Amino acid sequence: MEPQTASHAFTQMHPRLRDGLVVSGRRSVLKSGLAGLFGLSLPGLVRLRAESAVPSQRAVILLWMTGGPSHIDTWDPKPDMPREIRGPFGVIPTQIPGVRICEYLPKQARMLDRFTLIRSVDCRFSNHEPNMVMQTANLAAEPRTNPKARLYPAFGSVVAKHHGANQPGMPPYVVLNLKSRSHVAEAGYVGSQFNPFNGDQAHGAFQLPSGLTMERLNERRSLFRQMDRVRAEIDQSGMMTAADSFSQRAFEIIAGGKAQEAFDLSQEPTAILERYGSHDWARQALLARRLVERGSSFVTIDLSNHSASGTWDTHGDNIPPYGGIWNGLRPLLPVFDHVITTLVSDLEESGLLRDTLVIAMGEFGRTPTLGTQGSTDGRNHWPVVMSMCMAGGAFRHGQVIGASTRDGGDIAERAVTPGDLAATIYHHMGVPLSGTYTDHQGRPIPLIERGQPLRELV
């Protein structure tokens, strides 16, 4: 298969189009005010599941490697192939006998017995900007070709609906470090109340505006109830129905402060802060640990970067702003190596790893040859095969699942589909594998298509 190409990673964001809610009349003004819940910045917080959650502390942390990491230059090296295939990096042994990975992942190599590498992920229908297929397990969730792609629900939204938060007063599905809305799938058909809460806006959401006391907040809540008929009149999309059901929960979160406390890193011991370090990704990983520790059930961290720390989207050094394997990916790998190993070690020492499944993956792999698109050392998108890794979740780790071909260009054995990934996540979270949701015409859509929990893990 020839590699897919795209004009530019940011062309799909339509920067000249108005986005979000456009206030152009009385009803729009009312919608705007209600959506903000009296100016408290709570459109994410009202999207919480009612407190009928499964009595479980199980959770998922997804490290979303936005851009598509090169499998050959990370977890599936090809050291015996010519340089134009194997790339510029060397390999090192790991705690799994006979398994080698990239030399710039030494910390993960030393504790690979706590991980599972999957080297045969079938990503043939995936694309990026927007990133949907690998976050929903629905092969039709490709917004560049399907206008309904955004309606297929994210793993986190399905978990929020069927499992809910593990503790009252916490948002079930949280996204951290979100650089673009197109990086993360949302709730779609399962309902906007199960959209992710944007953790980057947490501090603004949990702080009362100047001059607003809890007494005044109670008065405004009473006024809110008196506006039921107005809301019913203007509700055409289900947004106000969700607000009716969850505004009380949002109010309780602000009043109780449980979620606010989860986002307060100043409460962590200095030794823990120093252990994670000051890099944005590291602080987001620490936030993720605090969130699952306090009751959130699905946290996604958007690991996207085009700064001095490099990029996963390694098109080539002469194709700004991406960079290639050497100058783009090489400085990023030690940061990722530190983040994932620190997170997994901390979860283990905190007694959380058995209940918390950690997943690291992107949208697809990269081409098996260097120098694509006329670049010096870049690799283009390769929606044929990719690698990913898992840790935790009481699964059997310390193994490699599947294999790519000798040049890393295709799946050689044990193809793992997006449906298999979804089934494994839902199995861990107690979501019914035979469950369905309905589209806007009331037709049932299965939660899992062509997938089973990975037998090697369960």
Q: 302 has which bridge partners?
A: 64
**Calpha distance 400→109 (Å, rounded):** 13
- Tens digits of residue pLDDT in 423-436: 999 999 999 999 99
The confidence band for 273, taking pLDDT boundaries of 50, 70 and 90, is very high
pLDDT (0 to 100) of residue 203: 53
Q: 91 has which bridge partners?
A: 102
- Tens digits of residue pLDDT in 315-340: 998 888 888 999 999 999 999 999 99
Q: How far from 195 is each of 34, 174, 260, 435, CA to CA, in Å?
A: 17, 9, 19, 19
pLDDT (0 to 100) of residue 51: 39
Percentage of the chain modeled with pLDDT above 70:
75
pLDDT (0 to 100) of residue 2: 41
* CATH no., domain 57-199+265-446: 3.40.720.10
pLDDT (0 to 100) of residue 439: 94
Q: What is the mean pLDDT of residues 121-133?
A: 91
Q: What is the DSSP letter of 34?
A: H
Cβ pair 84, 370 in contact under 8 A: yes
pLDDT at 10 over 50: no
pTM of the model: 0.82
The confidence band for 249, taking pLDDT boundaries of 50, 70 and 90, is low
- Tens digits of residue pLDDT in 140-157: 998 888 999 999 999 999
pLDDT (0 to 100) of residue 260: 85
The confidence band for 420, taking pLDDT boundaries of 50, 70 and 90, is very high
240-249, 325-334, 410-419: least confidently modelled range: 240-249
pLDDT at 34 over 70: no
pLDDT at 1 over 80: no
pLDDT (0 to 100) of residue 32: 38
Residues in contact with 373: Cβ distance below 8 Å, sequence separation at least 6, in sequence order? 5, 315, 316, 319, 380
- Tens digits of residue pLDDT in 202-225: 655 555 455 545 555 555 555 555
pLDDT (0 to 100) of residue 221: 56
The confidence band for 129, taking pLDDT boundaries of 50, 70 and 90, is confident
> Is the peptide bond prior to 130 cis by the omega test (within 30 degrees of 0)?
yes
pLDDT (0 to 100) of residue 311: 82
Domain ranges (residues) in the chain: 57-199+265-446
Percentage of the chain modeled with pLDDT above 90:
65
More confident residue, 1 or 154: 154
pLDDT (0 to 100) of residue 392: 98
**Secondary structure element (H or E) that encloses residue 100, with its range:** strand 100-102
CA 410 to chain centre: 25
Closest CA to 71 of 424, 377, 450, 405: 405
**Calpha distance 45→249 (Å, rounded):** 8
Q: What is the mean pLDDT of the chain?
A: 83
